Chain A
Amino acid sequence: DQQVKQNSPSLSVQEGRISILNCDYTNSMFDYFLWYKKYPAEGPTFLISISSIKDKNEDGRFTVFLNKSAKHLSLHIVPSQPGDSAVYFCAASGWAGNMLTFGGGTRLMVKP
């Protein structure tokens, strides 16, 4: 049973527009959430995180929203740039952020 799901395997967006990547989770014990970006042949690169005491965290062009009641989080990238094209993974963990459970990833393609 997948505890973290990214239902969209791919997303295509025009440069300059907003990219919205979604993630759903089922385990109510998760209280720390992260987004990672991955290029081919490289490890995931940490982008942004949010703890369950918040519903929004912003860092430059990246904003993560957390809806605890819906067990849903999303990553907004504004404005999208061609260099943002990569696979994006959401991840969740319980207390202390030890065991990360990853979603299956969403491939984002930003077209010039």
Chain B
Amino acid sequence: GAVVSQHPSWVICKSGTSVKIECRSLDFQATTMFWYRQFPKQSLMLMATSNEGSKATYEQGVEKDKFLINHASLTLSTLTVTSAHPEDSSFYICSARNRQNQPQHFGDGTRLSIL
């Protein structure tokens, strides 16, 4: 149980393009989903927390207009990187959990490369 699916796993696109990444909880209802970013040789850094049906809470230094998060249902959250530039190239990974003080379960991540 507790499977989280993330799609796409790898995307390459031109600078200026907007890219949408999907995160789905397949066998549980995710009241809260989290989006992380990982730079090379560094650990996962939380970008934002989203609760179903409400606006995401962004961590300090994360541009909310750049990284649009939607959590419209209990099984789906999306992260849209708007007008992506090479410095946005990174590994993005989502996690989900069904209630507080329960473990977060992670997707397999999306490697985003902006040319």
Q: Please give the residue numbers on chain A whose beta carbons come within 8 Å of chain B beta carbons, in ascending order.
A: 32, 34, 36, 41-46, 49, 51, 89, 96-100, 102-105
Q: Please give the residue numbers on chain B whose beta carbons come within 8 Å of chain A beta carbons, in ascending order.
A: 2, 4, 6, 9, 32, 34, 42-44, 46, 49, 59, 93, 95, 97, 100-109
- Whether the pair B44, A41 counts as a contact (CB closer than 8 A) is no
Please, which residues of chain A bring their CB within 8 A of the CB of B34? 98, 100
| Known contacts A32-B101, A43-B93, then 18 further A-B pairs from the complex at CB < 8 Å, ordered by chain A residue | A36-B106, A41-B9, A43-B4, A43-B107, A43-B109, A46-B103, A46-B104, A96-B101, A97-B101, A97-B103, A99-B46, A99-B59, A100-B34, A100-B95, A100-B104, A102-B44, A103-B43, A104-B43
Q: What is the CB-to-nearest-CB distance from B39 to chain A, in angstroms, rounded to a whole number?
A: 12
Q: What is the CB-to-nearest-CB distance from A30 to chain B, in angstroms, rounded to a whole number?
A: 13
A9 to B54, CA, bound (A): 39
A19 to B93, CA, bound (A): 28
Q: A43 touches which one: B6, B42, B103 (CB < 8 A)? A: B6
Q: What is the CB-to-nearest-CB distance from B103 to chain A, in angstroms, rounded to a whole number?
A: 4
A49 to B102, CA, bound (A): 9
Please, which residues of chain A bring their CB within 8 A of the CB of B4? 43
